[in-house]
Structure 1
Amino acid sequence: MKKDIQLNRQLKSYFRWPMIYLGFLLILTIIMFYIDTTAGVISAIFFLIGIIVSVLISFVSKRHLLSEIIHYAFTFGSLQTNFLLKFQIPYILIDVDGRIRWFNEAFETIIGEKKVLDKNINALIPPLNAAILPVEEDGVFEKEIEIEDKIYRVVIRHLTTQDAGDYDHVNDNGVIYATYFFDITKETELQKKNEDQKTVVGLLYIDNYEEALQSIEDVRRPLLVALIDRNINKFAKKIDGVVRKFEKDKYMIIFQKKYLKDLHEDKFAILDVIRDINIGNELPVTLSMGLGVNAFSFTQSMDFARVAIDLALGRGGDQAVIKESDKFLFYGGKTRGVETSARVKARIKAYAFRELIEDCEKVIVMGHKVQDLDSLGAAVGIYSCARLLDKPVHIVLNEITSSVKALYDRFQADERYEEDLFIDNMEAVNLVNENTLLVVVDVNRPSYTECEELLDYTQNVVVFDHHRVGAEHIENTVLSYIEPYASSTCEMVTEIIRYISDKVKLRSTEADALFAGITVDTKNFVVKTGVKTFEAAAYLRRNGADVVRVRKLFKNDMASYKARATAVRDAEIYRENMAITICPSDAPNPNLVTAQAADELLNISGIKASFVLTDIQGTIYMSARSFDDINVQLIMEKLGGGGHLSVAGAQLKDYTIEGAIEILKETIDEYLEEGE
């Protein structure tokens, strides 16, 4: 617009110059008449000639010049139109309703139709419609679409009358959309090829190598090892990978990322192949796999693989974990963790834990939010270890729930325990310093801990837990002891106490707390019990644990009992063998009642899995229980929770009870469709 105004001024000044010359001639003629009459007459003659020339320029040349300019403009406009018409990049103009008002030959070629004028763009190219057109002036919209096996990057630009010119293509409100189609097929193919050729680094560990070998005759052991090696090498050959065995039960594999899709589709069938190896071994061989994907370097790929394999082992093994930046994908994990009778690991962890306590200034212990007897009992066990080594210790406890109130009252009434044994979040934050040892028990998710801030305030963090590790877990720990096969965290802590020192002497209240934790998580020694469970119980009995006193810790009040009965009575049967129900949120301890109702529902004939929900201050808490043929841990994990194969839970925020039940049913359907 500014250039047009400048051009008009230049043209006007050009035609104004003759008039300026005539003015000079007139003044010169008058001066000449004063000097000499003859000279004045000659000057007047020249003045008249100047007038004639000026008239000719103004009326003849001006018209001719304007005609030439107009002719050039039309010629240039035609050139411009022909240029766009022959432009190799497909180009169209569409109005606000999505109708095509102009197009070039390249667009006609990619569409394969002759009559496209005034057609709606959505009818020709479904991904494009009037709704996606940019509203803002000079706004731009970009989208990748596929037309006839070719991929195009579509750029739509908002134009006004000033941008588009006074063309018939522009609608009444002066808006038109210029749309370009850039062929990026080759670029996309090269990107895909480059992506497919990225290197994936994987670590494969045999979970129970020693135990499987011990369960078979000596003469058959070499054959079992050979079968494992053969199947892993066949797996590597199938995906064009390179595999190397660097320890008797550990392998490293490298392959291209394009084969990862095949592994996704068959859900890492190698896990089932290894598990199905049976030449007389009593224990099935299980394999864990950790893969590092989309790293920036080979070193980072290996780091990703290590993190993934640690996560797979922390979740109980027999599964594959893929780490991609900060995202994790899980496959497998269908079988129950196999308990090992070896004591080496527990002994090593106990010695390392003792050194950490001795080197610290004080110990702070915390469990998960809304604590239960396993969480508090394990915290009390850690207190016993720290007391033995003469270190100040505090347990973070914000809310005294009905499930732990009886145990809490016993400690409060016992004068042998310090007044500041139990502290809240504020006191814990004020006490912590760089020489503090923070011990987290019965939880490995930062967001589920009693005080998440403490994890940021101390560098020395120890985790003891028996829950399977999820994508969200406490990182950078100085010591982590996570055993999904263990019945409870109290069982693990009891084992640590046995090896931390020969002089450990538990007080009866402490022994009761640990025994109660084991009892509640094993449902009175029925669920998930192993050799170590009964050994831990026997050790606690020798140290003063009393079954009668422990039983008193489990007594419910009448309101809780009625709430549990209501939840069981109102249960809905879903998919023939799954019970879903709601626990009243006004129960004295809805979280505990929810868990009890879930256990109670499994006693009903035909019920293979139970899900009980309750609303606590806007958060939906969900408890899930099952028999072994249904893995509730996988179901809860899809909802952001976790747990064990037969005992799990989840928390849903920003959901109503009805919405939570709906998404639970969708998740159950998805789980059943995927199959076990």
Structure 2
Amino acid sequence: MSNERKLKGKIKYLIIVPIILALVLMVVVCATMGTDRKETLIASGVILAYILIVSVIYWKMRPVFSATFVDYALDQGRIQKELLKDLAVPYAILDTSGRILWCNKMFKEDICHNEKRAKKRMDYYFPELTSEVFDKVDDSSMELYYDDKTYNALIKKIDMTKVLTDNPEEKKNDEKVISFYLLDVTDLRFYMQENADQKLIAGLLYIDNYDEVMDSTEEVKHSILNALVDRKINMYLANIDAITKRLENDKYFFVFRQKYLQTLKDDKFSLIDEIKNINVGNEIPVTLSMGIGAGTDSFSDCYEYSKVAIGLALGRGGDQVAFKYGDKVTYYGGKSAGTEKTTRVKARVKAQAFEELLANKDKVIIMAHQRPDADAFGSAVGIYRLVTTLGKKGYIVLNEVTSAIKPVVSSFRAADSYDNLLLTSQQAINMVDDDTMLVICDVNRPSITECEELISLCKTVVVFDHHRQSNEAITNATLSYIEPFASSACEMITEMFQYISVKPRIKAVEADAMYAGILIDTDNFLNKTGVRTFEAASYLRKCGADIVRVRKMFRSGINELKERAQGISNAEIFMDVFALSYVEADESLGEAPTVPVAKVANELLNVDGIKASFVVTESKGTLYVSARSIGDVNVQIVMERFNGGGHANIAGVQLKDVHKEEFFDELKTVLKEMYTEGDI
């Protein structure tokens, strides 16, 4: 009825407009020609006759016009309905809950399989299309899968009150409906995947410890070992149809198609473990690292990605795979702690490079990570001694003196020669100019340094660290010396003392600080301790480090002993190999008991059967986690799941606005998953 009224209104409008124009014309004729002339009377008569004829025709033909237009509209509606019914695209009309109100022939054939009545809800065919989905949708598209086909679903909500009429009486029973199209994109997705599968991916494979392995093997067996390693690598890469080229004795380049990438992931790059089983009398097992680059249409970019990836894998200690897909980096393996490098060539090269950079600078600002520990402060002191020996001014950024370094800092403040040594972040920022070098020690993640702003302000940035690298890195470093095999940053700096042109005269208080850094990071020479660690400690002893003095500095107070006892009493054993515990922080003390937490984590490793320990404490909205391990469990890759890091045996993380109950629930899930799958 409403459509008919609209149609009649439009026809009436088409008749009335000419009549009004005719009347206007008659007025114009009378006005221009005068009312008493014969021509005016004739023209007016003709116009009146026209008006009379049009009016009669309208009244006589009105029913015919209406019927003709209505029939035409109905015919058009039938045509559109038939076209929708035979449309070669599955189409349906749904109510707002997802129930099918009407569907075309194609929908019945492809989706309903010619059922007599397709009155089921849409989630019967597509479980993901629940009523909640349709409630939220107005106009969107999504990808759906049905009967081995992929569809692009176009969903649009239509308000029928706006489509049908503006009459309030007819709005009462009108509802919203959903228009639902399904476009079959199976072939399109297939060919897109085929195209992606044919893309080339670049990879680099380095044998981590080639020289060390050869040195530990009889010379007559070198060729046999080389042949076995080469054969194992080539056979593994042949399984993915890769082209392999040996660049050097310990370096390989390979190219393979992207279709085999998932095969390698599912296999978890088993070559890493297989290569370790080669034994022809070599005392040290062979380990290798791989860097793979993908995620770009340019093969040259893939190769550049692979070079970045292999650098990350080696920077994390080797024996693992780094896969760089665009900006995202994923790691596989890395379960072992790595093999210590006995050669000091790298230390000598870095020391000389550092000295050359320093030659053109006037002053050096040194900073470590937030809430610095003994190793962070000790290594900063070591760098200070290096730069002052070479005739430059040195300053250390220190915003907070924690209980972990309070005894050491106090000894420096008691000495007269270190009055201007320590700066706050703001003081350091104000001091920066073109002749300033920034040295970052014991950390390689910009977000947790004492003052991240300094990194962008200084043109020359140098990094010295012994932690494994993560995805977050200091990208503008002029010189970077990251040695994951080192026990501590203090060990690295101590080695560099021996290779600069001017031999430094280390004061006793400085030697104590560096010796304390090594002592704390190795847990009294029990963790990550190698030959070079003892050599560095011996050098510091010669320079005046006093073991008794250092031990007195780090004696525990009664409150710390109570906190450690509390942490041990709160411990629980998970999966028979993990110890989980917590220490309640005393807010009146003003800082988190991170030192007792770390010591509790170390002590829990003395429990029979425990392979790793995780101890936490909460303070001022931050959860501090210390992770320790002994044996094969790599706690670093566990902490990386929480955006933390560290070493294979010592790691940690700080989490904002996370409670210990939430953390332990997630940690248990991660440990169960990784331990079951052999990732740790």
Q: TM-score higher than 0.5 here?
A: yes
Instruction: Point out the more displaced range, 370-379 or 583-592.
Output: 583-592
Which of 583, 590, 606 pairs up with 2:609? 606
Q: 2-side partners of 1:173 and 1:438: how far apart?
A: 71
Are residues 1:85 and 2:103 paired?
no
Q: 1:85 to 1:583 in 2, by over 3 A?
A: same
Which secondary structure does the structure 2 equivalent of 1:251 belong to? strand
Letter in 1 for 2:436: T
CA contact (8 A) 2:198 2:257 kept: yes
Q: 1:226 to 1:62 in 2, by over 3 A?
A: same
The alpha carbon displacement at 1:659 in A equals: 0.8
| Residues 35-85 of structure 1 deviation map (CA, whole Å, 9 limit, x = unaligned) | 99xxx99x99x9999899667623442222222111111111111111111
CA contact (8 A) 1:574 1:580 kept: yes
Q: 2-side partners of 1:256 and 1:193: how far apart?
A: 11
The alpha carbon displacement at 1:556 in A equals: 1.6
Q: 1:651 to 1:113 in 2, by over 3 A?
A: farther
Are residues 1:322 and 2:323 paired?
yes
Partner of 2:146: 147
Which secondary structure does the structure 1 equivalent of 2:311 belong to? helix
Q: 2-side partners of 1:55 and 1:11: how far apart?
A: 10
Partner of 2:268: 267
* Structure 1 residue runs without a partner (length 5+): none
Partner of 1:569: 569
Are residues 1:540 and 2:536 paired?
no
| Residues 312-369 of structure 1 deviation map (CA, whole Å, 9 limit, x = unaligned) | 0011000000112221100011112111211211110110011112221210111111
Which secondary structure does the structure 2 equivalent of 1:341 belong to? coil
CA contact (8 A) 1:402 1:589 kept: no
Q: 1:73 to 1:512 in 2, by over 3 A?
A: same
Q: 1:506 to 1:68 in 2, by over 3 A?
A: same
Partner of 1:238: 239
Q: 1-side partners of 2:580 and 2:180: how far apart?
A: 54
Letter in 2 for 1:553: M
Which secondary structure does the structure 1 equivalent of 2:417 belong to? coil
CA contact (8 A) 2:161 2:171 kept: no
Q: 1:51 to 1:413 in 2, by over 3 A?
A: closer
Instruction: Point out the more displaced range, 200-209 or 89-98.
Output: 89-98
Partner of 1:362: 363
Which secondary structure does the structure 2 equivalent of 1:87 belong to? coil
Which secondary structure does the structure 1 equivalent of 2:349 belong to? helix
Are residues 1:663 and 2:663 paired?
no
Which secondary structure does the structure 2 equivalent of 1:246 belong to? strand
Which secondary structure does the structure 2 equivalent of 1:292 belong to? strand
Q: 1-side partners of 2:577 and 2:99: how far apart?
A: 56
Which secondary structure does the structure 2 equivalent of 1:329 belong to? strand
Partner of 2:313: 312
Q: 1-side partners of 2:578 and 2:645: how far apart?
A: 18
Q: 2-side partners of 1:187 and 1:470: how far apart?
A: 38
Letter in 2 for 1:444: N
| Residues 76-127 of structure 1 deviation map (CA, whole Å, 9 limit, x = unaligned) | 1111111111111111111222222221111111111334444322223222
Q: 1:346 to 1:11 in 2, by over 3 A?
A: same
| Residues 270-328 of structure 1 deviation map (CA, whole Å, 9 limit, x = unaligned) | 11121211111111111100111112422221221111111100110000001122211
CA contact (8 A) 1:288 1:312 kept: yes
Instruction: Point out the more displaced range, 109-118 or 433-442.
Output: 109-118
Matches within 5 A, 1:6-85: 8-9=9-10, 11-14=12-15, 57-85=57-85
Partner of 2:468: 468
Q: 1-side partners of 2:420 and 2:199: how far apart?
A: 56
Partner of 1:632: 635
Instruction: Point out the more displaced range, 260-269 or 641-650.
Output: 641-650
CA contact (8 A) 1:628 1:645 kept: no
Which secondary structure does the structure 2 equivalent of 1:254 belong to? strand
CA contact (8 A) 1:164 1:176 kept: no
Partner of 2:157: 158
Q: 1-side partners of 2:37 and 2:445: how far apart?
A: 111
Which of 650, 653, 667 pairs up with 2:653? 650
The alpha carbon displacement at 1:416 in A equals: 2.1
Q: 2-side partners of 1:125 and 1:464: how far apart?
A: 56
Q: 1:281 to 1:103 in 2, by over 3 A?
A: same
Partner of 1:445: 445
Matches within 5 A, 1:403-414: 403-414=404-415
Letter in 2 for 1:148: D
Are residues 1:594 and 2:597 paired?
yes
Letter in 2 for 1:190: Y
Q: 1:188 to 1:431 in 2, by over 3 A?
A: same
CA contact (8 A) 1:403 1:589 kept: no
Which secondary structure does the structure 1 equivalent of 2:145 belong to? strand
Letter in 2 for 1:593: P
CA contact (8 A) 1:380 1:513 kept: yes
Q: TM-score normalised to the size of structure 1? A: 0.92
Q: 1-side partners of 2:243 and 2:370: how far apart?
A: 46
The alpha carbon displacement at 1:162 in A equals: 5.8
Q: 2-side partners of 1:170 and 1:527: how far apart?
A: 79
CA contact (8 A) 1:170 1:176 kept: no
* Structure 2 residue runs without a partner (length 5+): none
| Residues 232-282 of structure 1 deviation map (CA, whole Å, 9 limit, x = unaligned) | 211221111111111221111111111110110010011112121111111
Matches within 5 A, 1:148-297: 148-161=147-160, 164-165=163-164, 172-297=173-298
Partner of 1:494: 494
Q: 1-side partners of 2:457 and 2:200: how far apart?
A: 38
Partner of 2:379: 378
Q: 2-side partners of 1:355 and 1:116: how far apart?
A: 84
Partner of 2:343: 342
Partner of 1:428: 428
Are residues 1:552 and 2:555 paired?
no
Query: What is the RMSD computed on CA atoms of the aligned residues?
Result: 3.0
Q: 2-side partners of 1:645 and 1:516: how far apart?
A: 21
Q: TM-score normalised to the size of structure 2? A: 0.91
CA contact (8 A) 2:605 2:629 kept: yes
CA contact (8 A) 1:95 1:170 kept: no
Which secondary structure does the structure 1 equivalent of 2:93 belong to? strand
Q: 1:64 to 1:427 in 2, by over 3 A?
A: same
CA contact (8 A) 1:486 1:528 kept: yes
Aligned residues with identical type, % of pairs: 42
The alpha carbon displacement at 1:573 in A equals: 1.6
Q: 2-side partners of 1:66 and 1:437: how far apart?
A: 90
Query: How many equivalent residue pairs?
Result: 663
CA contact (8 A) 2:199 2:297 kept: no
| Residues 193-246 of structure 1 deviation map (CA, whole Å, 9 limit, x = unaligned) | 122122211111110111111111111101111112112211221111111111
CA contact (8 A) 1:560 1:589 kept: no
The alpha carbon displacement at 1:19 in A equals: 9.7
Q: 1-side partners of 2:532 and 2:569: how far apart?
A: 37
Which secondary structure does the structure 1 equivalent of 2:405 belong to? helix
